[in-house]
């Protein structure tokens, strides 16, 4: 006896198997199941490769971040002690751009 929850799935499965047996009396739905299992294996392999690539990219980003942190010069040190609070703001960002670029040279 099949639980009521699984009854509809069981009926669909039996109908599918019956149609598959009509099309191919020897193998029935075995070919379809084998094909789907192969697809799952290929997709699992692709997933493993993608996860490996993600880990590799994350490692590279971490290394790049460490490199950038080691050579980063704070913006306040780049332009000296000048107060740029009156200069142009970019997108309400607290970082400013000096209006006279000749001062940086």
The pLDDT assigned to 105 comes to: 46
- Is residue 68 included in any domain, yes or no? yes
Q: What is the pLDDT of residue 72?
A: 66
53 SS3 class: helix
pLDDT means over runs of 10, the chain (105 residues):
90 93 91 94 98 96 85 59 51 50 48
**Would the pTM count as exceeding 0.75?**
no
The answer to whether residue 22 is domain-embedded is yes
Q: Which residues, in sequence order, are CB contacts of 79 under 8 Å at separation 6+?
A: 98, 103, 104
Look at residue 85 in the predicted model and tell me its pLDDT.
53
Can you read off the two tokens belonging to residue 53? 């690539």
Say how many domains are in the chain: 1
Q: What is the pLDDT of residue 71?
A: 75
Report if residue 40 sits inside a domain: yes
pLDDT at 1: 82
Answer yes or no: is 48 within a domain. Answer: yes
Residue 101 lies in a domain: no
> Which residues have C-beta within 8 Å of that of residue 87, sequence separation ≥ 6?
96, 97, 98, 99
Domain, as residue range, for 67: 4-77
Specify if 10 maps to a domain: yes
Question: Look-up: residue for tokens 């039996």?
Answer: 14
């Amino acid at each position: 006896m099949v639980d009521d929850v699984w009854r509809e799935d069981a009926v669909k499965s039996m109908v599918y198997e019956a149609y598959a047996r009509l099309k191919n009396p020897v193998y029935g739905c075995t070919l379809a199941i084998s094909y789907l299992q192969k697809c799952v294996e290929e997709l699992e392999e692709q997933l493993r490769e993608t996860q490996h690539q993600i880990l590799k990219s994350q490692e590279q980003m971490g290394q790049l971040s460490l490199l950038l942190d080691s050579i980063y010069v704070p913006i306040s040190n780049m332009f000296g002690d000048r107060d740029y609070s009156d200069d142009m703001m970019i997108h309400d960002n607290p970082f400013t751009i000096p209006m006279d670029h000749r001062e940086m040279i």
